[in-house]
Structure 1
Amino acid sequence: MFEIQFSTPLILCILIPLFFFILSKLSKKNQQSSTSTTTPLPKSYPIIGSFLSLIENKDRFAQWTSDILLSTPNLTFTLHWGFGRRYIFTANPSNVEHVLKSNFDNYEKGQAFNSTMRDFLGNGIFNTDGDKWKFQRQVAVHEFNTRSLRKFVETVVDSEISDRLIPMLERAACDRNVLNLQDVLQRFGFDNICKIAFGYDPGLLTPSLPDAEFTAAFENAMRFSTRRFNAITPYSWKIKRALNIGSEKQLRNYINQVRGFSRQIIKEKKQNGGYTESVDLLSRFLSSGEVDEELAIDIVISVILAGRDTTSSALSWFFWLVSKNPDVEMKLMEEIKEISKDDHELGYDEVKGMVYTHASLCESMRLHPPVPVDAKAAVKDDVLPDGTKVRKGERVMYHPYAMGRVEKVWGRDWAEFRPERWLEREEGDQGKWRFVNKDSYTYPVFQAGPRICLGKEMSFLQMKKIVAAVLRRYRVVPALEGGKEPVMRMSLTARMQDGFPVRIEHRN
């Protein structure tokens, strides 16, 4: 979302000469500051703010802003984005709690976000505030908490694992092929979330690894929508939208495909007897009588957007960390063998008992949160608990990636992958671990407060089932050239830049 792109030639004609002038005058000062042992606050210039620093660090935005935050005394700094825009970054748990809970009503998605994403997300739950959001949240909470949905999700996940994921990994193990595990997990995630949301199966994880039309349209609609955030000024994409030209014309076509497909799904459900026999989310919302067809589509598109990449991102980094920590892998195997006595896919209660696996996933997401940076906009002027002033309309960017690296919170060994930091021994029983949750404002990987992620339990259910199914059969061995660490590239989620090439080896 925060990659910087040049999209307006007229603006470039004005700014490029200014850039070269500033660089020629201040290059020596910049070189001196770059040799500092700590990451300095980025320099800010008239009009363009810290745009030069943003350009320089566009490929490592989360890491760069994290380094700055960790070098500040109160874990907060203000970035001058340019053209009068200020973004306040924070890794301070008190500030995060203030924004996400204590002063919740003053911090919203905000008009800038709403208008940028409205064409794609409509009035869905992830793109609304106030009463509209509260109403959708109440409807969604009811549906997500039903036992029948949990059973449906469990069935969908088990089917995708046994019928597609395991056969694909088995072929790779037998043929000794290198597999892009990140791509495989993304396909798994999209198949899953589409079945849960629509009752539709894209079949992306079938042996031919196809690209379904709906999937491509959804991917492109998301990509072109988020490009709007990267524009130097919002006027550029709004002008193109009004004229229906360039990237905005393409975006409109992709959105029409996504929404047209959704309407066709609804039409087919009506022809097949309505929604009462179906348990997917679209059918649930429509049969409840609480929402009309267009709003149901908005909500489901938001659900797909939230679920399509977050789980695959979390699991890609998890399997990489496990491969580098054989002691953790051994303990995971001990737990999996104890719980799964035979080859059946684990049920809900069995998965719930995977305490060490749960801790390992939390520890992995501490180091590599699927959404490294998130934001809220101030409705009116405010002061954060650490004294930072926030003006009306300014965005406060809370930073889970940086928060997982705060030494005062996680200790001097914060850089180590150590699931035990989430566990303690049960009193009187030295053989059992008990999971110890962290304050959600210190660990806001699933957000926190009233907007905490509705799919959190669903995500853990899915991830633990995948981990158990894969690790009890196979070893995942990274095949990165020279044993390099994957490079994180941030868009909406933290992906591995060049995928995650692995070799799959039989466990026995």
Structure 2
Amino acid sequence: MGAWLMNLWCILRSYPEILLLAFACFFFIYSKNSVIPVNWPLVGMLPSIILNSHRLHEWVTQGLRECGSTFIFHGPWLARRKFLMTCDPANVKHIMVTRYPEILLVAFACFFFIYSKNSVIPVNWPLVGMLPSFIFNAHRLHEWVTQGLRECGSTFLFHGPWFAHMEILMTCDPANVKHIMVTRSSNFPRGDDFLKIFDVFGDGIINSELDVWRFQRKMHHTLFSSVEFRRFVAKMSREKVENGLMPVLEHKAQQGKAVDLQDVLQRFMLDSTCILVFGADPGSLSLSYPIVPFSNAKDDLMEVLLFRHAVPVSWWMLLRRLMIGEEKKLAEALKTIDCFINEHISKRMEEVRESKMQTKEKDMHESCDLLAFYINYRFEDEIGISKSFKFLRDNALNLLVAGKETMTPCLT
């Protein structure tokens, strides 16, 4: 027996890695099978948590059961980490309520964050309403709203913070939309808050009420239902697809590069809408992908309008008074938008004036755009509407937003 031990000792001295390997095997097996974590020298209980990480909840539950509902987890010596783990209700109450209430607050905040982020139907929390769900899903707003409408049966009421008095009815039911917008539109006035938020649209159809809205709707219906305008739209769309959209897609295909289809279709709709409204093509959809300041400014405009919906009126009005934050961005965007629109209105009015002086018939492309229709329309017998430069500007902006911001999401 003594000779056998002596031989074993000689082997281990000659090959210490065998001793190390044997210790590692014992270390691994014992740490993995031990219900109560072993506090090893240097590494503490870390091996136990690593070897049981795939079943962490079950392992912790077994450890608490074996240790009488409470034990201290020791980390590696160098880390100097110790964690008290307990499931005893008396201990939990003492720690989270009596001694450290901030822990309870953090736990509630974590639950608040996770539940609001993962909930399809917005949760109406006390004080803050559904605002947390809106903030957590702002990066995927369209998808989140679509999911919420689907789960709620196409209609739900969005509740904002209590102090903001912000309630928004959201619906995609065609019957509800027709009832609100057409059948009983007089029962659903825009209201002062709506007009304050959308003041940038001036006296256009978006802000119009009652008789003025009916008149503008009638005027638009007259143009949109005409054979000449429909031919103009068909001709313009075909030319834009052949000369704008297809060359860009073919060029990208030849290069073998990925295409940001949303950006391409946004440029396509911007050009198409400008042709319909002004009779002029800004040329944003081309191989060079030019930067169009008007398009960027309009995107900023829509972002600020969404911001106005999400905060109390007094807050964004204070930002506008101080000219800071989102309202400063809106003011800069409006300068670019007004410059773009005013330039095209002046140019179009000059062309219409020259055509009348020369009594020369204009072709389809020049005579059927919406701006020319407004300029040539007679307002003498209508209710309190004057064909001023501001009226043309307001309606041009309304039509640009209505055309691009509604069709682009449908295409993408």
Q: TM-score by structure 2 length?
A: 0.61
Change (3 A) 1:57 1:166: closer
2:393 is equivalent to residue 288 of structure 1: no
1:304 aligns with 400
CA–CA distance in 2 between the matches of 1:196 and 1:187? 14
Q: Deviations over 1:91-132 (max 9, x none)?
A: 66665554345533212343322211112x111112222222
Say if 2:117 and 2:136, in contact at 8 Å, map to a contact too. no
C-alpha distance in 2, partners of 1:31/1:226?
22
The match for 1:116 among 184, 193, 197 is 197
Give the structure 2 partner of residue 325 of structure 1: none
Secondary structure of the residue aligned to 2:372 is: helix
| Alignment partner, residue 236 of structure 1 | 315
Does residue 103 (structure 1) correspond to residue 192 (structure 2)? The answer is: no
Deviations 1:392-434 (A, max 9, x none): xxxxxxxxxxxxxxxxxxxxxxxxxxxxxxxxxxxxxxxxxxx
Q: Which whole-Å CA distance do the structure 1 matches of 2:114 and 2:261 have between them? A: 42
2:330 maps to 251
In the alignment, which residue of structure 1 is the partner of 2:166? 85
**Inter-CA distance 70–289: structure 2 relative to 1 (3 Å threshold):** closer
**Aligned mates of 1:75, 1:194 — CA distance in 2:** 33
Which amino acid counterpart does residue 393 of structure 2 have in structure 1?
A: I
Q: Considering Cα pairs closer than 8 Å and 6+ residues apart, tell me whether 1 or 2 has the greater RCO.
A: 1
1:221–1:254 contact (8 Å) kept in structure 2 = yes
Counterpart amino acid of residue 242 in structure 2? S
Q: Distance in 2 between matches of 1:127 and 1:298?
A: 10
Shift of 1:204: 0.6
1:258–1:77 Cα change, 3 Å: closer
Alignment of 1:289-368 (within 5 A): 289-290=378-379, 291-316=387-412
From 219, 229, 235, the counterpart of 1:149: 229
8 Å contact 2:154–2:173 — kept in the other structure? yes
290-299 or 214-223: bigger deviation: 214-223
Report the AA paired with residue 399 of structure 2. Answer: V
Whether contact under 8 Å (1:185, 1:312) holds in the other structure is: yes
Structure 1 residues 96, 22: closer, same or farther in 2, change over 3 A? farther
Q: Aligned equivalents of 1:21 and 1:112: distance in 2?
A: 40
Scaled by the length of structure 1, the TM-score of the pair is 0.51
Kindly indicate whether the alpha-carbon contact (under 8 Å) linking 1:286 and 1:293 is maintained by their aligned counterparts in 2.
Answer: no
Mark the runs of 5 or more structure 2 residues left unpaired by the alignment: 1-101, 357-361, 380-386
> Higher strand fraction: Structure 1 or Structure 2?
1
Name whichever of 53-62 and 90-99 sits farther off. Answer: 90-99
Task: For 2:340, give the aligned amino acid.
Answer: F
Deviations 1:166-220 (A, max 9, x none): 1122222222222111111111111111011011211011211101233333333
Amino acid at match of 2:409: S
Residue among 268, 275, 291 paired with 1:188:
268
CA distance 1:23–1:87, change in 2 (3 Å): farther
Which residue does 2:298 correspond to in 1? 218
Partner secondary structure for residue 259 of structure 2:
strand
Name the aligned partner's letter for residue 289 of structure 1: R
1:272 to 327, 339, 351: 351
Measure how far apart 1:284 and its partner are.
0.7
- Give the Cα separation in 2 of the matches to 1:32 and 1:223: 26
Q: Is the 8 A contact 1:42 1:79 kept in 2?
A: no
Deviation at 1:146, TM superposition (A): 1.7
Instruction: Tell me how far apart the structure 2 counterparts of residues 269 and 78 of structure 1 sit (CA, whole Å).
Output: 44
1:114–1:128 CA contact under 8 A, matched in 2? no
Aligned-pair Cα RMSD in Å: 3.3
3-state DSSP of counterpart to 1:178: coil
Contact persistence 1:202–1:215 (CA under 8 A): no
Q: Distance in 1 between matches of 2:183 and 2:156?
A: 21
Instruction: Identify the structure with the greater helix proportion.
Output: 2
Q: Taking structure 1 as reference, are residues 199 and 49 closer, same or farther at Cα in structure 2, changes over 3 Å only?
A: same
Q: Output aligned runs, 1:406-485, within 5 Å.
A: none
8 A contact 1:214–1:258 mirrored in 2:
yes
* Aligned length in residues: 292
Report the alpha carbon displacement of residue 164 of structure 1 after superposing the two structures with TM: 1.7
Aligned residue for 1:87, secondary structure, equals strand
SS in 2 for 1:128: coil
Give the distance between the partners of 1:35 and 1:267, measured in 2 at CA.
49
Structure 1 gap ranges (5+):
1-19, 317-508
Contact 2:204 2:391 in 1 (8 A): yes
Match of 2:254 among 167, 171, 174: 174
Amino acid across the alignment from 1:266: I
Larger CA deviation: 264-273 vs 195-204? 264-273
Task: Give the CA deviation at 1:159.
Answer: 1.5
Change over 3 Å in CA distance of 1:21–1:294 after alignment to 2: farther
Query: In terms of Rg, which structure is larger?
Result: 2
Q: Secondary structure at 1:157's aligned position in 2?
A: helix
